[in-house]
């Protein structure tokens, strides 16, 4: 109201120019929703031209020529009932880039502004999508404002503390009802509301393209890990006296090597995909799988690099080196002179750290982080069942680690180090894509999706 009073106090020409600019600005906003955009210089030229025309043209002369002046319906704000807060939101959409902007304003029944805000949005489906983002941001600010008022009331010693008034939610209903009643000067073309959350069919390929370099890095990590498995590890000196601790019998793996990717990768992906079919959020699906694969592959590269560099013999190295049970040592150095199969001896120098353990804790540790965020395990409501669900993947990883010691393929130091390594990498990779599970935002969506909305 103060702005309009200032405008009406201007001289006639300036007043017409400002009013014309506001009128054209509203029309340009609706045109921009439909994907049409003009340069600012062009809008300024039209504004000056129309203002001069309105100043020199008389309505009476137009009537004498038989032309009826254009009557344009104006946008009128309808105030809410007394004691009710009302949210108005608006959005703009750039169809060729799938980006846009949104804004909101919260006013009381007197028209006074309580809160307002605006920001850019990405990965939008249409103009209505942008407008809904503005409405959601306004709702969040309204909740924060109500909570702050409640805290102030408590500090002032009021007996009754109301976090949110019923009128606030009546105002939201009032907002939705009045959207069909408030007139628009130039309504945008009919639009259809897209999916409430981004789907694979609508956003999957674009999200994947935005992370092309990440997928390329994953492939390079897989190739590097393959090379590390091919090269010969360091052959640590093994003397005759050291063989006392390396004479454990050779046993088959309780958990075969081919089962580790099923436990650490395929299993978590199945659970993540099941959550996608419930949440229908492609950002969550994409970044959960990407983070899981990064966790496992980074752990694999670190594990195999350390294996090749350390070359620690396995607990059953005696039987790998001397399969016939007849030892042979150097008379001068007392070092073992192995006559077993070369591939078996090579594998015998890869004890530290445990690959089965690190892979399992990398994949299942990431899954535990992911489940903790999805089921709100840290909501402070004391649901122990949620904690049991989160710890279940870690228990499975621990059982894999115990099997490596029971099979005499690793020393206890190997599995402890492998478990810590896998869990550490899993934590880093999870926090790279998602907020902490204790964070309120972590219950909603991956970090990159929240940042794309510019809400936080």
| Same domain as 206, residue 155 | no
Q: What per-residue confidence (pLDDT) applies to 351? A: 93
Indicate whether 403 belongs to any domain: yes
Q: Which of 78, 135, 150 is nearest to 103 (CA)?
A: 135
To the query of whether residue 339 is one of the catalytic residues in this protein, the response is no
The two three-digit tokens of residue 335, written as one number: 């070092």
pLDDT attached to residue 76: 66
State the total domains in the chain.
3
Query: Does 183 fall in a domain?
Result: no
Whether residue 77 lies inside any domain: the answer is no
The whole domain housing 31 covers 2-64
The pLDDT of residue 295 is 96
Phi-psi sector, 384: left (phi>0), alpha (psi -120 to 50), beta:
alpha
In a domain, 50, yes or no: yes
Q: Where are the alpha helices (DSSP H) in 84-165?
A: 127-155
- pTM comes to 0.57
Q: Give yes or no: residues 60 and 94 share one domain.
A: no
Query: Does residue 321 form part of some domain?
Result: yes
How far apart CA 376 and CA 18 sit, in angstroms, is 52
Q: Which two tokens stand for residue 267?
A: 């299993």
| Ordered DSSP codes for 28-44 | HHHHHHTT----HHHHH
Residues 54 and 95 in one domain: no
Looking at the fold, whether 365 and 432 belong to one and the same domain comes out as yes
pLDDT in tens, the chain (456 residues): 567 777 777 777 777 777 777 777 666 666 665 555 556 655 665 666 566 656 555 444 444 444 545 545 555 677 788 878 888 888 888 877 778 888 888 888 888 888 888 888 877 777 888 888 888 888 888 877 776 676 555 555 544 433 344 444 444 444 444 443 443 344 444 433 333 445 555 566 777 788 889 999 999 999 999 999 999 999 999 998 899 889 999 999 999 999 999 999 999 999 999 998 887 788 888 999 999 999 999 999 999 999 999 999 999 999 999 999 899 999 888 999 999 999 999 999 999 999 999 999 999 999 999 999 888 888 777 788 888 999 999 999 999 999 999 999 999 999 999 999 999 999 999 999 888 888 765 444 555 544 444 333
Regarding whether 434 and 339 lie in a shared domain, the answer is yes
Q: Quick one: 301 and 422 in the same domain?
A: yes
Contact residues for 289 (Cβ-Cβ < 8 A; gap 6+): 269, 272
**Shared domain check, 101 and 58:** no
- Regarding whether 272 and 408 lie in a shared domain, the answer is yes
Please tell me whether residues 368 and 436 are part of one structural domain: yes
74 by DSSP, 3-state: which?
coil
Question: What pLDDT sits at residue 314?
Answer: 94
Query: For residue 398, is it within any domain?
Result: yes
442-450's contacts with Cβ under 8 Å and 24+ in sequence apart are: 442/373, 443/373, 443/374, 443/376, 445/281, 445/283, 445/284, 446/283, 446/284, 446/287, 446/288, 448/283, 448/287, 449/198, 449/281, 449/283, 449/284
Please indicate, yes or no, if residue 70 is contained in any of the structural domains.
no
- Does some domain include residue 132? yes
Q: Are residues 15 and 137 in the same domain?
A: no
CATH number of the domain where residue 122 is located:
3.30.160
Give yes or no for a contact between 214 and 371, defined as CB atoms under 8 angstroms apart: no
122 assigned to active site:
no
Q: Which among 129, 174, 349, 410 is annotated as catalytic?
A: 410
Q: What is the pLDDT of residue 28?
A: 67
* Rg, C-alpha atoms of the chain: 34
Catalytic residue among 174, 203, 356, 411: 356
172 and 33 co-located in one domain: no
Are residues 91 and 226 located together in one domain of the fold? Answer: no
């Amino acid at each position: 109201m103060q702005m309009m009073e200032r405008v009406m106090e201007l001289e006639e020409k300036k007043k017409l120019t400002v009013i014309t600019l506001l009128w054209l600005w509203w029309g340009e906003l609706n045109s921009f929703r439909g994907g049409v955009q003009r340069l600012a210089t062009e809008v300024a030229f039209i504004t000056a031209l129309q203002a001069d025309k309105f100043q020199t043209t008389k309505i009476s002369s137009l009537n004498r020529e038989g032309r009826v002046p254009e009557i344009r319906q104006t946008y009128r704000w309808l105030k809410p009932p007394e004691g009710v807060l009302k949210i108005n939101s608006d959005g703009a959409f750039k169809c060729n880039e799938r980006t846009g902007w949104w804004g909101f304003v919260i006013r009381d029944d007197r028209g006074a502004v309580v809160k307002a805000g605006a920001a850019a949005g990405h990965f939008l489906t249409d103009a209505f999508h942008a407008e809904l983002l503005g409405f959601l941001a306004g709702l969040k600010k309204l909740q924060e404002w109500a909570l702050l008022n409640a805290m102030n009331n408590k500090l002032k010693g009021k007996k009754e503390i109301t976090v949110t008034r019923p009128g606030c939610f009546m105002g939201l209903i009032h907002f939705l009802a009045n959207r069909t009643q408030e007139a628009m000067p130039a309504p945008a073309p009919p639009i259809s509301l897209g999916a409430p959350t981004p789907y694979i069919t609508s956003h999957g390929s674009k999200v994947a393209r935005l992370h092309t370099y990440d997928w390329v890095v994953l492939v390079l990590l897989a190739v590097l890990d393959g090379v590390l498995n091919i090269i010969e590890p360091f052959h640590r000196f093994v003397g005759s006296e050291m063989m006392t601790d390396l004479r454990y019998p050779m046993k088959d793996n309780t958990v075969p090597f081919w089962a580790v990717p099923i436990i650490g990768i395929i299993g978590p992906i199945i659970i993540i995909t099941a959550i996608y079919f419930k949440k229908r959020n492609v950002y969550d699906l994409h970044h959960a799988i990407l983070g899981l694969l990064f966790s496992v592959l980074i752990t694999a590269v670190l594990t195999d690099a350390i294996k090749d560099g350390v070359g620690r013999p396995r607990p059953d190295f005696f039987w790998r080196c001397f399969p016939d049970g007849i030892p042979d040592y150097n008379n001068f150095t007392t070092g073992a002179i192995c006559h077993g199969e070369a591939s078996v001896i090579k594998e015998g120098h890869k004890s530290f750290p445990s690959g089965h353990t690190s892979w399992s804790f990398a994949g299942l540790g990431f899954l535990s982080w992911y489940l903790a965020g999805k089921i709100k395990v840290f909501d402070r409501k004391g649901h122990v069942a949620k904690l049991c669900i989160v710890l279940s993947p870690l228990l499975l990883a621990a059982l894999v680690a115990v099997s490596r010691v029971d099979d005499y393929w690793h020393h206890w130091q190997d599995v402890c180090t492998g478990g810590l390594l896998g869990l550490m990498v899993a934590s880093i990779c999870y926090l790279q894509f998602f907020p902490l599970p204790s964070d309120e935002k972590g219950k909603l969506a991956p970090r990159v999706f929240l940042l794309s909305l510019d809400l936080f």
